[in-house]
Structure 1
């Protein structure tokens, strides 16, 4: 049972805000930038905080997660192996049958149009699967 005023009362979005501030370096800025792209690509996206501190963006299922490491911000797309990636953004976790990731490093530019397209493809895949499950 959670107590009023405890950590359970903090929204996922506020937790993500806190992580960005807490990082205080290029990783926080990168996470903030990709978050903004995700929100613009899907204004109805839902932010979650899972697995003891991982930002997650969902809409009819997980679109992607935003893990931060010492040398990278990793955007992992839950169903990335099923997504077209004509711009070649995926550069990590390429071996698996399900997920794909984008490792962003200090000084990297974000190809916002390509990332937006990838997010929208993930959303389309999620919503198509969601609709087929309801039938």
Structure 2
């Protein structure tokens, strides 16, 4: 039995779990978009395919970044932070559009995961300190 001398800190572990959960959620949205693209009666096909491709790409990126972070790849932290910070304007525009019940949690999620990714234990685990 091998014991890891330097276990993954709880902050990094939670960040990875949340990134993977986000990947699953965006993947479900992408699946719904594919179904919607296939069953729509009238559509702007190029725009529909672009939105669907963006959702699929985001899901793949979130999953891959979670995997890279669990393997302590320091280069995965910056793209993960960028994806989390993208939730801020999305949440803000949701609040402005009357969907505060969804926008506020998205902003909190983006800031929370960013906080986990820049915390001292995560920095040490990724070799930044």
Higher helix share: 2
The TM-score, its normalising length taken from structure 1, stands at: 0.30
* Structure of higher CA gyration radius: 2
Higher strand share: 1
The TM-score, its normalising length taken from structure 2, stands at: 0.31
Greater relative contact order (Cα < 8 A, sep 6+)? 2
